[in-house]
Structures are given as structure tokens and as C-alpha cells.
Structure 1
Amino acid sequence: MPGRPARAKARRAFLNAFFRAIVQGPAGQGLRRGGSVYDETSLIRFLASGDGKSVLRELYGEDAAARQEGRWTGLAREFFGGEGGDTARVISSPGRSELGGNHTDHNHGRVLCAAVHMDILAFAAPRNDGKAVLRSRGWDKPFVVDLNDLQPRAEERGRTEALIRGVAASLVKRGGKIGGFYALADSSVPAGSGLSSSAAFELLIGQLQNALYNGGSRGPEELAIIGKEAENEYFGKPCGLMDQMASALGAISAIDFNDPAKPSWRRVGFDLHKAGYALAIVNAGDSHEDLTDEYSSIPSDMKAIAGFFGKPVLRGIAEADLLDNAAALRAKAGDRAFLRALHFAAEDQRAAAMADSLDGGDLAGFLKLVRESGDSSWRLLQNVLPSGATRSQAVACAIALSQRFLGSEGAVRVHGGGFAGTIQAYLPLGRERAYIDFMNGALGTGAASIMHIRPRGAMEVTI
């Protein structure tokens, strides 16, 4: 029988081979969905290994990988040293950036979007009492939901508990299994920032239930729809499906919502960094919170125009039809609704053209379309300034400042829902530090960040 040093050496060799096989998977697959149960020692040892650092670089980019090792290690120690028990599943769900198709998804249009490196990371273990207990860094008390009752609750609308309950209810409605869990989470997706922290959270809970109770059998499209239903029906916020799909799929994706029950999508193979550009997201300083009425007015206005043509949504109504009926449409639905419909007609086409430009390696053409998208959102969609805002016009200021900095280089546009939150800027490599310093000087420390486009969507991490 081998001695203790020999046994320890053999065990280390086995673990190294085991983890390497999981990380690499089949040839060319890289990090993949699907997961395992980890104890504290094996997890922390792996994070410090070469394979672990490779995982972190893929998810977060070269510059952030070292910081992420500390984040993961700290969260693991907190989980295992607290209520988490001896083993954990690891879930990571990214934020998203909308690259094209501003407010087109809710009218069954097309979008171009990407997952980004900012994510919600959670360590989780099952509970046998049907209760979901989620602790999140930055919150004093845990979120506790009894999943034995899946009916919507009026007092939970607009709260985290509604999303936990709503995701579980939607999963059960589709024949899935659910159960209680304890989870410890840490989010680097700022709430109200326009990177869709709500969708990232919905996909986190969906993948958590998927990993613990469904053997990872639920695909990204289904989990995205589950998240949207939870946000619409339990949380009480109107939204399309783009945010959830972007978080679920990862990388850059062109998505067509013509059939919202089964959206079609494809990967867009383009490396912005290799093309010499960086993507920046700037938090203008105002929050998306308390703007539900502003957001709901956009699909409402668009659908009022669609109703004139006997349609439920604008998809399939040509710009020529809008122009031919301009007087009647303005009289029926008002000028704002008419202008928003004009935006949709062009933006839907533009989102498809943006994907084609990237597929063809035409960065100049893509940036031209980005500028057109931003101009249309400001003038026609009107989601840069909240109604009646005079003193605080943070998004407009951030766009104007970025345009002055970039000049004829790069492009800038409002990002996501609009009215508050973030803008998006493309800038040549080498100007990142100067841009960040300029925007932070005007808007506050930490306002501007360079994004890494994450190749993986919400997932149980196999390491």
C-alpha cells in the first residue's frame, strides 16, 4: 500500500487531470455549461491554478482576471464558512450590452446584443424545506421565499423576492422541477445602470434551479423566456426579451423576435479589440429606477400605431405605410407615437445591417450605423430625456461630452432602456485612459468602464 506522500501526489495528479478534462471538454469547446459540486479546498486550489486563471480570463478578460480570483476566493470562503455547508454549485450570470435595436424587441423586432464581463456570481446548495434563501453582498438581510407557494404577491412587486418566486413558477409551468436553496451572491452589475442587472439575476436564479433540480436540461432560450415572464408578471415591469436572451446566450448575438415564443438567433463572429477598438459603457449618473411609466409608454405608443393597421405590434409594418398614413396616425395616436413608430421601422432594419457589417468585418460601416441608431433614439424614440426633466439631463450630457471627446473617431449612442442609466461609446485603442479620465472628471469617479465581451452566457460553471 503506498505511503502518505505517494498517495497525496497521486491524488494531486488525479485532481489536476480531472479539472483539466472538465475545463477543456471536447476538442475546441473550451469552458462549457454543465457543472459539478465543489468543496472549499478543491475550488480554491483550482482558482489559483493555471487552468483556473484561464477560466477567469475567458469570463472577465485579461485585465480583470487577477481581481476576479480574489473575488471568487473570498466569496467561496464566506459561503463555506457560513450557512453554505460543505459543498457548492457555482453559477455566473452576465450583464448585457445592447449594440443595436434600441427598443425593438417588445414589438417583435431584431436586435444586436452582447454579454459583458460584469456578472452576478453565486455559490449555492440545495435545501429540503422548499425555501429559497439568498444572501447578497451589500444587503444586511437575506431574501427568503417559500417556494411551496408560487402565486404572485402584490406586496412583492418591484422586489427581488418577486423574481425568485416568478422564475420558479414559470419553470414549473413548463414542466420543470424546483426546490429550495441557500445561495450567497455577489454582483458587479450595478442596479439601474442599463446593463440589465434584473435579467442577469433572473438568469442566475433560472440556472440555479436548472443545476440543482433539472440536471442542466433547460436551454438558454427557455430560461430567457422564464426570466421575462417573472419580470413581467411577478416583478411588474414591462420589458421585451432582449435583455434575458443576451444574458443567456453570451458573446455577440443577432436575435430576431418575430416569433417571440421561439426567437431565432445566431452568433456574430467579430473581435472588436482585434479590430483596434474598445467598447465603453458610461453611467451618466441618474438611475433607471422609478422610470417604469417612461418605459411602458414606448411599447404602448408603438402598439397604438400598430393597432391602426389591425396589428398587435409594429413588426411587418413598412416605413412607407407609416408615411402614407401620417395624418391619420398623428390624429389617432399623437405625434410622439408616430415618431416612435418611424424609429422602430428604421431601427429594426438597422439592427440586421449592423450584424451583417460585423460579420463582413466592416467596422466603419458598423460605426456609421451606431451613430444613426443614437441619433434616431434621441430625435424619434425620445428616450434620452425623461418627460419634464430640465435640471437633470445626465444621459444627454454624457452623449454630448463623448461626442466632443471622440470627434470624428468612434461612435456614441444611448444604451438600453434610456431616460437614465448608461450610454455606449466605441473608441480607438490607446484612447481608453484619456476617455475614462475625461468622463470621470465630468460625471464622477467610476462613471466610465471598458467592457470585455464575455463569450459565455449564464451558466453553471464547470471548473
Structure 2
Amino acid sequence: MSELANESSAQRFESVFSGTAEGTWVAPGRVNLIGEHTDYNDGFVLPFAIPQRTEVAAARLPEHSWEAWSALNGETVRFTEDDLTPGGVPGWGAYVASVVWALRERGYDAPGARLAITSDVPLGAGLSSSASLESAVLGALVDLGRLDVPVEERPAIAQLGENKYVGMPSGILDQSASIRCREGHALFLDCRSLAVEHIPFDLASAGLAILVINSNAPHQLVDGEYAARRASCEAAAAALGVPALRDVSLDGLDDALARLDDDVLRRRTRHIVTENDRVLRTVELLRAGDVRGIGPLMTASHASMRDDFEITVEQVDLAVSAALEAGAFGARMTGGGFGGCVLALVETSAADEVRSAVEKAYAARAFTPPATFVATAAPGAHRL
């Protein structure tokens, strides 16, 4: 998915399938304010939904077969029950099939359906285009099939499909944000208990904005780097005798690091433990209404991702440093890493100045120009 078509997904459904959609379901992309790679370590995250979203217009089919059309390339993918084994549907269609597969794995009879998909969530930018697609498809199938699937259960179903059908070992952050976020709020999620708290995130009243800077560096996760980070975290937890790195306290960090005999595992552990602490401190500041105060925590998070978790790239680091030099209160990469986007907390009146500074820094290094937008906290998945 890339640019949302001028026509709605419902209009596209009519022209592609020569019929009328029964409804339209939407789910947003997300940015993660803070808390990177903590989700699969049973830790804490603080994402918020963005206005860019995936739309799915859909109608039920009488048999258990599925047809999905994408505005990205004009392709229609068709699959049946026989294809519902991991790897059975390739390419972008795997994300659609993964939702059907995961519903069935959880004991729900996913109905056959036709789906027309449009989106303006940028691909490969670390803004969870895949989770927004999964979440919109999930909403459509649940409603079309009149399935009694609690909202609280839906992120885990979408995650199951992405993990086991697509083969991406992601945590539950992205799907939770796309499905459970509220407008004007950040989603404070405990990834172990799945308890959520909606934290007011009213930047405009504080005269602030989050500038999202798409580094336009290639963003590739399934090729092994993300999985390698997860494996190293699991190895560190096993060596320390804890269920997950979430169980290592900040006070106990030095002792834990001394017990690890591998420097890579020490650095990965230090990032996760300190990042969890940064999420908790950020939540405390936002509860107190001190939005500006979260800036240094954002910047410290980026340094930890760069030095301890080693998931940033040159373009991302340059965007952070240029934004800070131009007056941003804080800046950090968001998403799984190895490309993607940077968040900069700025005065609303200074957003253009920061944007210009980053563009000049990129031009000086002959990098592909970055794309930018100001993000506001949008609502989660719903039916239009």
C-alpha cells in the first residue's frame, strides 16, 4: 500500500468486483513514542496511532475462499482453505491470508470474503503498514462473520498471523496500537499482562508537535536482523535465569551485566532494561502534563538504540542530530530499526525550521531527501 486512492475503497470495490461492499473498515499506522524492542521482552511501550491508515471495503462470499485487491499494484490475490498453511500465499497477500489463518487457529470461522484495499501508510518506513493492513482485514472479517472476538483479543490474533504465517517474529506493539489506540492519547501497554492505559497526549495545547521524518533508508526486517535481536534477548534472559529481560530491574542491571560473559548480550540487555525505565518515566511526565520533559528521554532512547542495540543507520542518526541541532527538545528513531522514521519533539512554530535543517543535512551528504509530516494522535481501528 502507498498512496490512498482518490476514490474510496468502497468505490474501488465496485469497479473491481462489480458489486457493492457491505462496509468499510479502517486501521491506522502508528509511531512509537518510546519503548523500542521492549514488547517481545514482556516490557512496556508507548505508541500512538497516526492519521495515515489502511481502508478495506469488503463483502462476504458464501464459500470459504478469499479475493483481495490492492490499490498499490492493481493485483488481485485469490486463495482458498487449501492455501491456509504458512507460506501458502506469497507476497503482500500473505498478510491478508495470515489473518484468516490466525482466526481459524483461534477457533473462529473466518468467512469467505472479497476485499478492496487502499492505504496511505508509507511502506517500509517503520510506521506499521503491515499491522494496519492486518488490523483492517481483521475488523472486516470479524464483522462480516459476526464473530464474537473481544477487542482485547484482536491484537494477539493479528500478531499470531504475522509471526507464524508471514514469518516475522514481531512483538504485539504494532497490532495493539493499530487496534486499541484512542484519538488524542498515547497507548501505555504492558506487553506481559496486556493491560492498557490511555495517556492524554495533547501536544497542540502545549504549543508542541511531533515531526515525523522518514529517513527514506531501506527498511528491511524479515531478512534476519530483527530476528537476531530477539534471539539475543532471549539468550540473555536464559543466561540470567529470568523469563524475559523485563524481569531485570534497573537497580539490578549492573549485577546482571556482570553475570553475562558476552559483550553483545550485555549491550542488548542494557538497552532493554534502560528502555523500559525510560517508558515508565515518560508516562510519569505525561501524566504530570510535562510534555517538554520527555525530550531528553527520547534522545537517550535513540543513543541506546544506536550504541547498545545497534539498529540505527546513517540516515537515521543524521536526522536525529540535525533535528536536535535545530532546536528539537528530543529526537529518536521509531520502529524496528535499520531504516524507517525519526520522531522530533518540536515547538509547533519551529517545525518548518527543523524540517529544513534535516533536509539541508541530507543534501550535504547526497542522501535521498527525507519526507516529513506532523503527526497527531489518531483513533484506532473502526468501521466507517
User: How high is the TM-score relative to the length of structure 1?
Assistant: 0.76
1:51 alignment partner in structure 2: none
Give me the whole-angstrom Cα distance separating, in 1, the residues matched to 2:69 and 2:39: 32
2:334 alignment partner in structure 1: 415
**How do 1:72-111 and structure 2 match up within 5 A?**
73-111=7-45
Residues 82 and 294 (structure 1), Cα distance of their counterparts in 2 relative to 1, 3 Å cut: closer
Q: Does 1:278 align with 2:202?
A: no
Residues 325 and 360 (structure 1), Cα distance of their counterparts in 2 relative to 1, 3 Å cut: closer
1:196 Cα offset (Å): 0.7
2:92 alignment partner in structure 1: 160
Give me the whole-angstrom Cα distance separating, in 2, the residues matched to 1:120 and 1:446: 22
Residues 380 and 142 (structure 1), Cα distance of their counterparts in 2 relative to 1, 3 Å cut: same
1:453 alignment partner in structure 2: 377
2:142 alignment partner in structure 1: 210
Which has more strand, going by share of residues? 2
Q: Does 1:230 align with 2:230?
A: no
2:244 alignment partner in structure 1: 313
**How do 1:234-273 and structure 2 match up within 5 A?**
234-251=165-182, 252-259=186-193, 263-273=194-204
Give me the whole-angstrom Cα distance separating, in 1, the residues matched to 2:146 and 2:107: 10
Residues 341 and 89 (structure 1), Cα distance of their counterparts in 2 relative to 1, 3 Å cut: same
**RMSD of aligned alpha carbons:** 2.2
Structure number with bigger Rg: 1
1:439 Cα offset (Å): 3.2
Give me the whole-angstrom Cα distance separating, in 1, the residues matched to 2:18 and 2:150: 27
Residues 323-375 of structure 1 show CA distances to partners (whole Å, capped at 9, x for unaligned) of 2253440x2xx212111101111111211221121111012322222222222
**How do 1:364-443 and structure 2 match up within 5 A?**
364-385=292-313, 393-406=314-327, 409-441=328-360, 442=362
Structure 1 SS opposite 2:248: coil
Give me the whole-angstrom Cα distance separating, in 2, the residues matched to 1:150 and 1:168: 11
Give me the whole-angstrom Cα distance separating, in 2, the residues matched to 1:223 and 1:135: 23
Tell me the percent identity. 26
Gaps in structure 1 of 5+ consecutive residues:
1-66, 386-392
Give me the whole-angstrom Cα distance separating, in 1, the residues matched to 2:47 and 2:345: 14
Residues 141 and 311 (structure 1), Cα distance of their counterparts in 2 relative to 1, 3 Å cut: same
2:235 alignment partner in structure 1: 304
Is the deviation greater in 83-92 or in 187-196?
83-92
Q: Is the 8 A contact 2:209 2:346 kept in 1?
A: yes
**Structure 2 letter corresponding to 1:362:** D
**Structure 2 letter corresponding to 1:250:** C
Give me the whole-angstrom Cα distance separating, in 2, the residues matched to 1:375 and 1:175: 43
1:121 Cα offset (Å): 1.1
User: How high is the TM-score relative to the length of structure 2?
Assistant: 0.91
Give me the whole-angstrom Cα distance separating, in 2, the residues matched to 1:376 and 1:445: 26
Given candidates 119, 125, 140, the residue that maps to 1:193 is 125
Give me the whole-angstrom Cα distance separating, in 2, the residues matched to 1:226 and 1:280: 31
Structure 2 SS opposite 1:274: helix
Structure 1 SS opposite 2:54: strand
Q: Does 1:115 align with 2:88?
A: no
Q: Is the 8 A contact 2:201 2:377 kept in 1?
A: no
Residues 186 and 325 (structure 1), Cα distance of their counterparts in 2 relative to 1, 3 Å cut: closer
